[in-house]
Amino acid sequence: MKLIKLGGSIITDKKEYRRFNADTVRRLCREIRDSGQDVIIVHGAGSFGHVLAKKYDLNAGNRSREQIPAVAQVCYDVRDLDSMIVKELNESGIPAVSVPPGSCFVMEDRRLIIENDEVLRRFVDLGIMPVMFGDVVLDRKLGFAILSGDQIMERLTDIFDIDQVIFVSDIDGLFDDDPKTNPSARMYGTVDQRTLESVRSDISVDDVTGGVYEKMKAMLRMCSEKRECILVNGNAEGRLLSLLKGEDVICTKATGGII
């Protein structure tokens, strides 16, 4: 089974509040369908979550009453985004259902707790894809906190037999600098822990869950002898489909894990 993260940068315009990239999502859904692979999808919150989460510092936990309306609004916004993605999946022929993490699970000091995975497993057994996403989740210690799609991905690799993890972003792979502002930035075909430690962690847009650097760390944590983790550009038409079909594509592969 493949686990795919549709990043917020590919499904939304992260610089513009609630801007959904419908055409791109529709095409990616078709590519996933055409691959014929068994897949579980997680997606980021993009501009439906990060704009207000950043403004009101929601990842810091419950600190002031003015955060509360923002929590409610972000929960509404990311569910609205998820409904758009589930709609595109179903219309492309992939049976899918929304599973909002903030309505099902809790966190403890920003760590996701899934004490009962029966609902997720039963949907998959029926041939229905449970779609989860970055969300604001109740936290036993902090009151609430931001749950990233990457954190969900890590937990799903514990629950399901995943042989390939794919992060779909808006860049070709991991670079030693921001390729959007530095045309001389060099892309890594593969990355391990040593490479990661030398990579700059600053990013060009606000991202309360850490940007590309944190995503690559998450990828390395999910690597194993039987599982590869890949960062690929979803804006390149047909590239995700080719990757799912086992073909060589431009991408970054994480290897070796983190010690």
Count of domains observed in the chain: 1
Task: List the beta strands (DSSP E) in the chain.
Answer: 2-6, 39-43, 96-98, 106-108, 111-113, 129-133, 135-139, 143-147, 164-169, 174-175, 187-188, 190-191, 228-233, 252-254
pLDDT digits (tens, 9 = 90+) for 92-149: 999 999 999 999 999 999 999 999 999 999 999 999 999 999 999 999 999 999 999 9
CATH of the domain at 105: 3.40.1160.10
Mean pLDDT of the chain: 91
Distance CA 256, CA 259 (A): 9
Write down the pLDDT at residue 55. Answer: 95
Supply 204's token pair. 């060009």
Residue 244 belongs to a domain: yes
Residue 259 belongs to a domain: no
Distance CA 9, CA 47 (A): 8
Write down the pLDDT at residue 209. Answer: 52
| DSSP codes, 109-151 | TTEEE-S--HHHHHHHHHT-EEEEE-EEEEETTTEEEEEPHHH
Residue 207 belongs to a domain: yes
Distance CA 37, CA 127 (A): 12
Higher local confidence (pLDDT), 217 or 201: 217
Q: pTM to 2 decimals?
A: 0.91
The total of other beta-carbon atoms located within 10 Å of residue 182's CB is: 12
Task: List the beta strands (DSSP E) in 60-99.
Answer: 96-98
Q: What residues make up the domain containing 100?
A: 2-254
Contacts of 225 (CB under 8 A, 6+ apart): none
How much of the chain exceeds pLDDT 90, in percent? Answer: 76
Residue 64 belongs to a domain: yes
HSE-up (13 A, CA, CB side) for residue 76: 7
Contacts of 105 (CB under 8 A, 6+ apart): 112, 113, 114, 137
Q: How far is CA 218 from CA 5, 79, 86, 94, in A?
A: 12, 24, 25, 27
